A and B are shown apart, each in its own frame.
Chain A
C-alpha cells in the first residue's frame, strides 16, 4: 500500500493527521463501449482519487456512473484505458484476485439469503484462506464496527434482519478482508429516509476510523454533499463536468448544467454543509436507567431543565422523559423510546431537521463516539443557521 498522493485537505473534517488505510486510484483514458452501441457509455475518463478520500459520483441516470465504478473492480472490462490502484496497474490482473482486495457494496446489501450473517461476512476471509479463529474473530469485530451485536446477529439469516441491518451487514462483508478501497453503488437507495440517514452517519463514523478510499455512486445530491470529501458531477458518457469539494461545487458550479443539477435552493444547502458537530450543543441533565427518579428530578430542577436524557448502561441515550413524567416513577424507566429523535455529530443540520419533523419534536439528541451522548440540539439552532445563510446570501 502506498500513500503517494497525499490527500489535499478536503472538506471541513479531513483532519491532517487522520489515519489512512486506503490507496489512491488513477483512471487513465478509460473507455467502455458496449457492443452494438454507437456512443460509449464511458468516454475517455481520466480521474485521480486520493488515498483515504470519499469521492461521490453523481449525475443523471444512465450517464455511466455504475459502468465506471464497475470498471474499477473489473466487473466490467474497460474497452480501453488503464486503471491504477496504488502504484499497481491492475488493468490486466486476475480479476477474481483483484476483487478480493476491493470491497463492493450494492443496494440492499446483496446478502446471500441461505447463509448466516456470520458466513456472509466471512466469505472473503475464507477465500483468502484465513484460519478459522482469525475469520471468526474478524466477523465479530466487523459486526461490532457496524453497530450489530455479534452474539445476537452472527447466526441469524438475512431475512431475519431489517433492511437497514442487512445494509450494515453488507458493509461489514465488504470490509471483511480490510480492503484499501470500498466501492459502493447506491447502497442506501432502498431504505427509508431515517434509516438512510443513520446508515450515512454510520459510514461517516466508520470512515473516520478506517480512512479507506471510498468511491460512492448516488443519485441524491444531498447524500453526496454529506458523505463526500469530493464530488464528481458527470454528464452523459461519464464526462467529468466538475470534480471538487462539496463546498466549492455549491458555491461555484462549473456550468449551468451543474447549477441545475445542484438545485435551486442553494442557500438552504448550507443546512447540508453544516454538521451537527459544528454548532453549539446544549448539555442537559442525564440519568442512568434504573437509578432513583428523585435524584434525577432534583438534578434537573437544580439545572433548570424540564426534561432528562436517560442513558443505558453503556451510556447510550434511550429516552428523554419530562421532569413531570419522572416524578410519577420511583426509578428512571428502562424502556427504550423507539421514537427518540437521534442524530450523530457528523449528521447535517438538514438531517437533524428531518429527524425533528419526523418525530414532531422541537429538538434532537446528539450522539458521538460509540453512540454515547454528545448533547441536545434545539430547533432554534437550525433556524439560526438558516437565518445566517440567508443573510449571507443576501449580503
Chain B
C-alpha cells in the first residue's frame, strides 16, 4: 500500500553531461502526462454522477427503493460518509505525521521498525474485525467508527512520512547541519519539503482507504453510504446495493483526484 516514490520521466538517469553542458530542465517533463491524467479523472467522476442521476430520475422504483434512495436520505448518507472520512482524516494527519517525524529523529529512530511492524499487523487484520472489536469495547456509534477508521488509515500516512523523510539524501542533512542550520531548521527547510511527494501520496492512499472503509460504519451504527449497501443486501434490493457501491466509488475517485491535485501543486520545484 506504500506509494513508493514514483520514477517520472524527468527523473530518468541521464548520461553524465560533459562539464559546462547544462541540462536544461524541460518544464513540461514533470507535468505533461500528469495534467492529462488530472483532467481525465474528474471527467470520469462527473460522467458517473450524471449517469447515476439520469438512472435515479428515470428508473422505475418500488416504494422501499424510492424511500431509501430519496434525495434527503441520499444527501444525509453522503454527508455522514464525508463527515466520517473528514474527521478521521484530520485525526490521522494530526497523529500520524508528527509521529512519523518523531520516529525518524535520533532518540526514537530505534523504535521505528517496531512501530511499523505493529502498524502493518493492524493493517493486515480484517477491517470489519477491527470495527467489531472496537465496538464491543467502546460501544456503537460515530465516535467508535472514527476511532476504528483512524487506526486503520494511520498506517499509510505514518509509513510514508517515515519513508519520505528517510529517503532524503543523508548528505543533504549533513550539508544543512554543516552550514549551521539547526536540526529543526533542517527538518522544516530540507527534510519535510523533500519528503512532501511521498508523504502526500500516503495521505491520498489513506483518504481513499477511509472512503472505502467508512462503508463498514453501518455495522456499528456509524451511518454513511454503507447503510444503503447493507440494506440492499438484507432486503435483496440490487438497486440499493449498486447505488451505494457506485456512490462510494465516485466519492473515492473524487477524493483521489483532489489528492493528486494537491500533490501536483505542492510538489517542490526543482525535483
Is B250 interfacial (CB 8 A cutoff)?
A: no
Is B247 interfacial (CB 8 A cutoff)?
A: no
Binary CB contact string for chain B from 179 to 218 against chain A (1 if under 8 A, 0 otherwise): 1111001000110011000000000000000000000000
Is A75 interfacial (CB 8 A cutoff)?
A: yes
Complex alpha-carbon distance, A124 and B176, angstroms:
10
Question: What B residues does A50 contact at CB under 8 A?
Answer: none
Q: By the criterion CB–CB under 8 Å, are B180 and A75 in contact?
A: no
Stretch at the interface among B73-81, B131-139, B153-161, B167-175: B167-175
Is B28 interfacial (CB 8 A cutoff)?
A: no
Is A91 interfacial (CB 8 A cutoff)?
A: no
Complex alpha-carbon distance, A112 and B268, angstroms:
11
Q: By the criterion CB–CB under 8 Å, are A114 and B177 in contact?
A: no
Q: Which of B115-151 contact A (CB under 8 A)?
A: none
Binary CB contact string for chain A from 91 to 114 against chain B (1 if under 8 A, 0 otherwise): 000001111110010111011111
Is A158 interfacial (CB 8 A cutoff)?
A: yes
Q: By the criterion CB–CB under 8 Å, are A113 and B194 in contact?
A: yes
Is B18 interfacial (CB 8 A cutoff)?
A: yes
The total number of A-B Cβ pairs within 8 Å is 98
Please count how many residues in chain A sit with their CB below 8 Å of the partner chain's CB atoms.
Answer: 41
Complex alpha-carbon distance, A18 and B4, angstroms:
54
Q: By the criterion CB–CB under 8 Å, are A104 and B179 in contact?
A: yes
Question: What A residues does B180 contact at CB under 8 A?
Answer: 96-101, 124, 127
Q: By the criterion CB–CB under 8 Å, are B18 and A338 in contact?
A: yes
Please count how many residues in chain B sit with their CB below 8 Å of the partner chain's CB atoms.
Answer: 30
A148 to chain B, nearest CB (A): 10
Complex alpha-carbon distance, A73 and B174, angstroms:
12
Question: What A residues does B171 contact at CB under 8 A?
Answer: 106-108, 110
Complex alpha-carbon distance, A124 and B270, angstroms:
20
Candidate in B22, B171, B185 with the most chain A CB atoms within 10 angstroms: B22
Is A37 interfacial (CB 8 A cutoff)?
A: no
Q: Given A124-B180, A192-B16, A157–B269 Cβ distance below 8 Å?
A: yes
Q: Given A96-B181, A159-B25, A110–B19 Cβ distance below 8 Å?
A: no
Complex alpha-carbon distance, A173 and B181, angstroms:
13
Q: By the criterion CB–CB under 8 Å, are A106 and B182 in contact?
A: no
Could you list which residues of chain A lie within 8 angstroms of chain B, going by C-beta atoms?
73, 75, 96-101, 104, 106-108, 110-116, 123-124, 127, 156-165, 173-174, 183, 191-192, 194-195, 198, 338
A-B pairs, top 7 by smallest CB distance, nearest first, are A110-B175, A157-B270, A100-B180, A114-B268, A104-B178, A99-B180, A195-B19
